[in-house]
C-alpha cells in the first residue's frame, strides 16, 4: 500500500513564551502539499506567532518544524527561503523608488555584475508572470503601481527565490473586490502547479471561498483542524471566540438630526506638496454614520487627518455645528478639536494612536492628560489614571487586563481597543474613525460595530473611513466613494453592492 506523502509543512508541539505570556501552547498543525490552508483566530490567539516561527522571525522555545517530513532549523527568513518557505507581509516590504525588477533582485542579485543578474531575473520573472497570472511592468517604479500590483510583486519576489510554501498575512486588507478576485485566481493557479499556500486572515467569507483546510487557534492553542467543506462561517466564528458570534450588524434605520460637520471645497496636500484631496464637499449629521469607501492611497487618509487637525488644509471650509474652523487657526488643531468634543480614532494606531513604549494606562489618557481629573497639585494622579484604564479595559475586553503593560506588548487588536476606548468613552459629538477593525478578530469586530451603532443611536455624528466593504455596507447610513482625491459618488447601502462600489473605487464607474 502506497504511503501518503508527508505534509508540505508541519509544526509539532511548538511553545513560545513572551515573559509570563504563553503565546503558543504545544501548537501542532499539518499543511498538506498543494493545498490552500487557512489559519484563523482571535487577536492574541498565537497565529502570527507560529507563522513568525515558521518564517524564522522568532525562535521557538520548544517543538519542531518539518518541511516535506524532514525537521528543519529555521533561524532567519534566509533559512526559511533556503527550505522553500516564502512570506508576503500585510505591509509590503518594497522600496517605492526602485523598479519592480530592482525590488525582486534586492538581496538576491546573483552574478558577477548586476547586469548579468538582471538579465537572468528578467527571463525568469517573465516566465513566472505568464505561468501564474502575475503580470506587472518590470521597469516601473513600485511606488507608481496600484496596491494589487504591488502585492503581485511581493508574490513574484517569493517565487523567484524558490518558495514552494507561501505564507500570506491578511492578503486582501487593502484590495478592491476586483483585485481580491484576481488574487484568488493567482492563488488557485499556484495551488494547481503544486505550490502550498497558507493564509492568515480574519475574513471568514474568504476562508470559506478559498481554502481547502482551516486551523483554528484560541488563546495560544490549536482548537480545531477542519476541512473547509465540512464547516461553516458560524461554526468557525464560535471556535475562534469560544461563544456564538453575530456575523451581521443589527441596527435600526438612522434618524438624522442637525448637520454637525460640513465640508466644502476642501483641498489637502501631502508633505511633498502633492494635492491628495481635490475639492471635496459633504455633510455628516447627528445620528448617522457616513462611510467613505476607497482603495488606500486615494486621499482618505489625508482627508481624515485634515479634519482631525493633524494636517493643514490648502483651501476650503470646514464647519463644526455651523462654526467655520478653517478660518480660525486657533480652533483647527488636534488639541482644540478634542475640547470641542471631536474624537479621532486614527488609521495607524501604532504611529499615531499610541506611544508603544508607554504603559497602557498612559496611552489611555493621551491627548487628555492635562484634564484636571488626572492632575494633582504637583504630580499626576496615578490612581485616577489607573482607575480609568482599568474600567476601559474591562468594558472593551482588553487582554491581558494589565494597565502597567507596555502598549508594544499587546496584540494589534488589543492595541486598537485601547485607542477606541479612549476616544469613544469621551462621549464625542463627532467621531472620526479610520479603519476601526483593521487587524481585529471576529469577536472584537462584533463588539466595535455595536459600540459605533450605539453612539449613532445616542445622536452622535460618525465619519467612518474603511477599506473593508463589508464594514462600509453594514455600518453606513450613507456611503461616499473616493478615487484619486475626488468624491466620485454617493449611494445608500440599499443601492450599493460590492461590485458597484468596487468599480467606483477603481474609477471605472
Query: Is residue 351 in some structural domain?
Result: no
Query: Is residue 346 in some structural domain?
Result: no
308 and 439 assigned to the same domain: yes
155 and 194 assigned to the same domain: yes
Query: Is residue 488 in some structural domain?
Result: yes
Q: Which of 218, 241, 264 is the last residue of a domain?
A: 241
What is the count of structural domains for the chain? 3
153 and 254 assigned to the same domain: no
CATH of the domain at 225: 3.40.50.300
Q: Which of 422, 449, 479 is the last residue of a domain?
A: 422
Tell me what pLDDT residue 90 has.
72
335 and 377 assigned to the same domain: no
Q: Which of 219, 241, 263 is the last residue of a domain?
A: 241
202 and 329 assigned to the same domain: no
174 and 253 assigned to the same domain: no
173 and 317 assigned to the same domain: no
First and final CA of the chain: distance in angstroms? Answer: 58
Query: Is residue 98 in some structural domain?
Result: yes
Tell me what pLDDT residue 148 has.
78
Residue 195's φ and ψ, nearest 5 degrees, are -75, 155
182 and 198 assigned to the same domain: yes
Report whether 488 contacts 507 (CB < 8 A): yes
Tell me what pLDDT residue 147 has.
76
Query: Is residue 348 in some structural domain?
Result: no
DSSP 26: E
DSSP 230: G
Query: Is residue 117 in some structural domain?
Result: yes
Place of cell 503558543: 24
In terms of residue numbers, what domain contains 203?
9-241
Q: Write out the chain's pLDDT in tens, 509 residues.
A: 577 889 999 999 999 998 888 999 999 999 999 999 999 987 778 888 999 999 999 999 999 999 999 999 999 999 999 999 999 887 778 888 899 998 888 877 665 566 667 888 888 889 888 888 888 889 999 888 877 788 888 888 888 888 999 999 888 866 767 778 888 998 999 999 999 999 998 788 889 999 999 999 988 999 999 999 999 988 998 888 777 766 678 889 999 999 999 999 999 998 878 899 999 999 999 999 999 998 777 899 899 999 999 999 999 999 999 999 977 777 789 999 999 999 999 988 888 899 999 999 999 999 999 888 898 888 899 999 999 999 999 998 888 899 999 999 887 778 989 999 999 999 899 999 998 987 677 777 888 899 999 999 999 999 999 888 888 988 999 999 999 999 999 999 888 887 888 788 878 76
109 and 20 assigned to the same domain: yes
Say how many residues make up the chain. Answer: 509
Distances (CA, A) of 384 to 209, 365, 405, 457: 49, 11, 17, 30
84 and 204 assigned to the same domain: yes
Tell me what pLDDT residue 174 has.
67
**Number of helices and strands in the chain (H, E):** 16, 20
110 and 217 assigned to the same domain: yes
93 and 25 assigned to the same domain: yes
Query: Is residue 347 in some structural domain?
Result: no
Query: Is residue 51 in some structural domain?
Result: yes
Q: How far is CA 443 from the centre of its chain?
A: 16
Amino acid at each position: 500500500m502506497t504511503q501518503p506523502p508527508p505534509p508540505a509543512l508541519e509544526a509539532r508541539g511548538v511553545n513560545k513564551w513572551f515573559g509570563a505570556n504563553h503565546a503558543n501552547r504545544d501548537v501542532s498543525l499539518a499543511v498538506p502539499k498543494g493545498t490552500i490552508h487557512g489559519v484563523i483566530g482571535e487577536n492574541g490567539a498565537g497565529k502570527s506567532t507560529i507563522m513568525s516561527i515558521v518564517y524564522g522571525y522568532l525562535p521557538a522555545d520548544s517543538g519542531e518544524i518539518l518541511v516535506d517530513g524532514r525537521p528543519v532549523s529555521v533561524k532567519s527568513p534566509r533559512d526559511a527561503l533556503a527550505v522553500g518557505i516564502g512570506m508576503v507581509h500585510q505591509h509590503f516590504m518594497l522600496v517605492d523608488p526602485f523598479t519592480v525588477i530592482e525590488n525582486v533582485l534586492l538581496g538576491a542579485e546573483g552574478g558577477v555584475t548586476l547586469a548579468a543578474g538582471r538579465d537572468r531575473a528578467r527571463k525568469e520573472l517573465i516566465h513566472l508572470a505568464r505561468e501564474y497570472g502575475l503580470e506587472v511592468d518590470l521597469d516601473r517604479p513600485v511606488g507608481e503601481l496600484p496596491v494589487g500590483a504591488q502585492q503581485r510583486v511581493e508574490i513574484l519576489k517569493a517565487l523567484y527565490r524558490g518558495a514552494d510554501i507561501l505564507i500570506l498575512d491578511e492578503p486582501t486588507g487593502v484590495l478592491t473586490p476586483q483585485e481580491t478576485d484576481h488574487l484568488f485566481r493567482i492563488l488557485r493557479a499556484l495551488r494547481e502547479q503544486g505550490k502550498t499556500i497558507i493564509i492568515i486572515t480574519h475574513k471568514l467569507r474568504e476562508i470559506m471561498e478559498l481554502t481547502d483546510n482551516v486551523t483554528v487557534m484560541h488563546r495560544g492553542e490549536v482548537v480545531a483542524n477542519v476541512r473547509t467543506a465540512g464547516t461553516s462561517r458560524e461554526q468557525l466564528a464560535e471556535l475562534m471566540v469560544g461563544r456564538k458570534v453575530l456575523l451581521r450588524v443589527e441596527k435600526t434605520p438612522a434618524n438624522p438630526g442637525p448637520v454637525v460637520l460640513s465640508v466644502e471645497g476642501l483641498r489637502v496636500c501631502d508633505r511633498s506638496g502633492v494635492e491628495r484631496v481635490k475639492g471635496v464637499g459633504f455633510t455628516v449629521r447627528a445620528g448617522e454614520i457616513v462611510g467613505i469607501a476607497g482603495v488606500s492611497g486615494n486621499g482618505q487618509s489625508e482627508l481624515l487627518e485634515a479634519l482631525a487637525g493633524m494636517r493643514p488644509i490648502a483651501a476650503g471650509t470646514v464647519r463644526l455645528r455651523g462654526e467655520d474652523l478653517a478660518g480660525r487657526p486657533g480652533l483647527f488643531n488636534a488639541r482644540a478639536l478634542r475640547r470641542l468634543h471631536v474624537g479621532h480614532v486614527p488609521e495607524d494606531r501604532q504611529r499615531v494612536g499610541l506611544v508603544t513604549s508607554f504603559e497602557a494606562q498612559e496611552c489611555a489618557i493621551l491627548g487628555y492628560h492635562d484634564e484636571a481629573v488626572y492632575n494633582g497639585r504637583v504630580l499626576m494622579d496615578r490612581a485616577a489614571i489607573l482607575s480609568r484604564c482599568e474600567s476601559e479595559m474591562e468594558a472593551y475586553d482588553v487582554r491581558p487586563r494589565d494597565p502597567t503593560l507596555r502598549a508594544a506588548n499587546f496584540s494589534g487588536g488589543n492595541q486598537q481597543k485601547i485607542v477606541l476606548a479612549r476616544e469613544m468613552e469621551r462621549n464625542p459629538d463627532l467621531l472620526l474613525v479610520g479603519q476601526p477593525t483593521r487587524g481585529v478578530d471576529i469577536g472584537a469586530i462584533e463588539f466595535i460595530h455595536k459600540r459605533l451603532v450605539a453612539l449613532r443611536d445616542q445622536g452622535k455624528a460618525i465619519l467612518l473611513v474603511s477599506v473593508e466593504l463589508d464594514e462600509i455596507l453594514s455600518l453606513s447610513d450613507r456611503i461616499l466613494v473616493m478615487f484619486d482625491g475626488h468624491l466620485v459618488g454617493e449611494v445608500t447601502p440599499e443601492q450599493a453592492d460590492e461590485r458597484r462600489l468596487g468599480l467606483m473605487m477603481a474609477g471605472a464607474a
